[in-house]
Amino acid sequence: MTDADTGLRVYAQDDIGWIVLDRPERKNAFTGEMLRHWADAYRRFEQDDAVRVVVLTGNGDAFCSGADLTGPIGRRTEATPLDNRRLMTDEVHPVARAAEDLTKPLIAGVNGVAVGAGMDMALMCDYRIASDTVRLSEGYVRVGLVPGDGGCHYLPRVIGRSKALRLLWTGEFVDADRALDWGLVDEVHPAGELRARLAEFAATLAAQPPVAVQLIKRAVRAGEHADLRTSLDLIASHQAVVQSTADSAEAMAAFRAKRAPRFEGR
């Protein structure tokens, strides 16, 4: 499950699905083909019962510098407004939709610069672990554009409206310390330790009962758009489902026996 020619390395190892952006010479800027394989990787990992956690990171000193403007995405002088809209909806947005459909934990390892849509790709993730070299910028406004990959949706939900508007309006860069202080990232580690921390955290999540983990994610996301009574009604149904699983019985048995549980995802 890997194809370096697409600009991605995609593979599964020890219950963890890895997506590594692999165009370091272009700061992992994405192409249309790369986006298609990226969205497909999310979909395949969602369907693969052996994968319990998905990790997204970059190769080299950048996470993702956004779209590769030297390629077809950037050469659109003859495009009509309809063409440009279809570029977004048909080529760029499938990654966001596939990330939204992923019921498994999605962890970003932000290993360096993340600009424009590259920053938005990190914001789509459930948890962001960054290196101390990280520099984040929405950036679109500096090239006369509006955020095209969900930045206006994700960013206010992560750091609040006023700070989000500041970053969206100015395109300024945020370093690791401010990113952590503002909640743009959840952890910061030395660059040389990032990959090990990603693997460690992903393994911690993969060791939990998968059905419970996925239903927790569903409940949290649903709760962002629901009132309390709806959220409580949903979680009552989730609880009934979880309590019927073999993993729930195993968790309780392991707890009582003071041993490590062995979960099978059923």
The predicted-structure confidence for 45-64, as pLDDT tens digits, reads as follows 999 999 999 999 999 999 99
Superfamily of structural domain 4-206: 2-enoyl-CoA Hydratase; Chain A, domain 1 (3.90.226.10)
Inter-residue long-range contacts of 174-180, CB under 8 Å, 24+ positions, other chains counted: 174/135, 174/136, 174/137, 175/134, 175/135, 176/130, 176/131, 176/132, 176/133, 176/134, 179/130, 179/134, 179/136, 180/130
Q: Which CATH class is domain 210-257?
A: mainly alpha
Q: Where in the chain do CATH 3.90.226.10 domains reside?
A: 4-206
Q: What is the pLDDT of residue 2?
A: 46
Give the percent of the chain with pLDDT over 70: 96
Q: Does 261 have pLDDT greater than 80?
A: yes
Q: CATH 1.10.12 spans which residues of the chain? A: 210-257
Asked if the model's pLDDT at residue 242 lies above 60, the reply is: yes
Confidence of residue 22 (pLDDT cuts 50, 70, 90): very high
